[in-house]
Structure 1
Amino acid sequence: MRMSTTGRVLHDPKGGSFRFDAGAVCLDFAHTGGEGPYAVFETLHRPSDLAAWLAEPPLSATPAVPPSAAELTAAKSLRQAIWETAHDRAADRPLTGTAVETLNRAASAPSLVPELSAGGTSAGWAAPVRTEQVLSALAREMIELLTGPLAARFRECASDDCPLVFVDTSRPGARRWCAMERCGNRHKLRALRARRQEPPETA
């Protein structure tokens, strides 16, 4: 099951925010924080933070029982596996065994079950929604991306100092930047400054 995505707003701990569409909900989830130097971007500090993120559109999956501390740990492990496999695929590197195992383990749990409304014009998730089901849906979406028609469309932002990764869903497949309003505009500004500093051509 593919889930549509409208992206999320990312916040820089140094200030500022921008809208980033990673191309898939599972990749949006991969950018909710991280390990090592990316720990400063952490947004899932408590189980309630995880519940709030899962409940937001377009996923809109509110767990019937609040996530536990163990489920938060599992979610962060899945997040890291999605992050690692996305970067490996973007760089055309072999996927690491531990990341693949984490994805497969999460995907092996029962997934969310779509449920059509009585009027037949909308759908939600069959109750009760469990955190394990939502994590399974995210893992399955990532597996579909890695093995489907978009497998060659994983990209790292072209900026030298931006680690964001996305799947390019555009028709021409020419997306280079995490967001034009961020790294795209910075690149244009640097290029303009460089041109202005070039000495005039001599005859």
Structure 2
Amino acid sequence: MTDRFRSGAGRLCLDFVRTLRYRGTPAAVEELPDAAAWGAWIDAFGPFPSPVRPASADDARVAREAIHALLTGSVRAPERQRLNRFAALPVPSPSLTPSGELRWQAADPAAAMLALLARDALELVTSPEFARVRHCAGERCGALFLDTSRPGTRRWCSMETCGNQAKKSTYRAKATARG
């Protein structure tokens, strides 16, 4: 997997929502500006054996924002209708190769990926797991993640990035206060 896109949010739809990096901050970065970027995301996270080359990233960004609205409790009728439309698209189908490998295929891999993402989001918000979706406590992050820690008290999307930055900031503030 490439470092271009973040992973590890706990669900595919949560990793997808992170493609608007630093959401809600002045430093927000669009990671799906075009069809090539959307194809690269599918290649990194999707089930397809060969590279996917979608014609556009427009539907991907629309789906991402509808999923974000759903996950943050601000979904309105238009977003709900879009999610239902994406979820109704055909999903990838499995097949077994002559060598015994499982391969996934779809007539339109980009649309099939949107179906997987929408279905994952709908399943998440209707499951008990949804109570453990958190916003990262990192000041500049804005990411959502699934808290799978036993006590359910995880604060950062990534201890290596946001958690480490927060601890460094706290340490520096204490050092400055001491002297």
Q: What's the TM-score bracket when you normalise by the shorter of the two chains? A: 0.7 to 0.9
- 1:68, distance to aligned residue in structure 2 (A): 2.0
- 1:85, distance to aligned residue in structure 2 (A): 2.2
| 1:124 maps onto 2:103 in alignment | yes
SS in 1 for 2:61: helix
Name stretches of at least 5 consecutive residues in structure 2 with no aligned partner. Answer: none
- What is the letter of the counterpart of residue 9 of structure 1? D
Specify which of 156, 159, 163 is matched with residue 135 of structure 2: 156
Specify which of 53, 75, 97 is matched with residue 77 of structure 2: 97
Specify which of 23, 33, 37 is matched with residue 20 of structure 2: 33
Cα distance in 2 between the residues matched to 1:107 and 1:196? 52
Name stretches of at least 5 consecutive residues in structure 1 with no aligned partner. Answer: 1-5, 12-18
Cα distance in 2 between the residues matched to 1:148 and 1:24? 12
Task: Specify the alignment match of 2:3 in structure 1.
Answer: 9
| 1:111 maps onto 2:91 in alignment | yes
Once the two structures are superposed, residues 113-167 of structure 1 have per-residue CA deviations (whole angstroms, 9 ceiling, x without a partner) of 23344455x4221354532111111110111111123111110001233211112
Task: Specify the alignment match of 2:60 in structure 1.
Answer: 75
Task: Specify the alignment match of 2:37 in structure 1.
Answer: 49
In structure 2, relative to structure 1, the CA distance for the partners of 1:104 and 1:41 (3 Å cut) is same
In structure 2, relative to structure 1, the CA distance for the partners of 1:152 and 1:184 (3 Å cut) is same
In structure 2, relative to structure 1, the CA distance for the partners of 1:38 and 1:67 (3 Å cut) is farther
Cα distance in 2 between the residues matched to 1:21 and 1:155? 13
Cα distance in 2 between the residues matched to 1:66 and 1:131? 8
In structure 2, relative to structure 1, the CA distance for the partners of 1:116 and 1:106 (3 Å cut) is same
In structure 2, relative to structure 1, the CA distance for the partners of 1:190 and 1:78 (3 Å cut) is same
Cα distance in 2 between the residues matched to 1:63 and 1:128? 13
Cα distance in 2 between the residues matched to 1:126 and 1:172? 39
| 1:142 maps onto 2:121 in alignment | yes
Structure possessing the higher radius of gyration over alpha carbons: 1
SS in 2 for 1:125: strand
Percent of aligned pairs sharing the same letter: 36
SS in 2 for 1:9: coil
Contact 2:91–2:106 (CA<8 Å) still a contact in 1? no
- What is the letter of the counterpart of residue 37 of structure 2? D
4+ runs deviating over 4 angstroms: 34-40, 62-65, 117-120
Stretch of structure 1 that moved more, 42-51 or 73-82: 42-51
**TM-score, normalising length from structure 1?**
0.71
Contact 1:63–1:128 (CA<8 Å) still a contact in 2? no
- 1:106, distance to aligned residue in structure 2 (A): 0.4
What is the aligned-residue RMSD (CA, Å)?
3.2
**TM-score, normalising length from structure 2?**
0.79
- 1:190, distance to aligned residue in structure 2 (A): 2.5
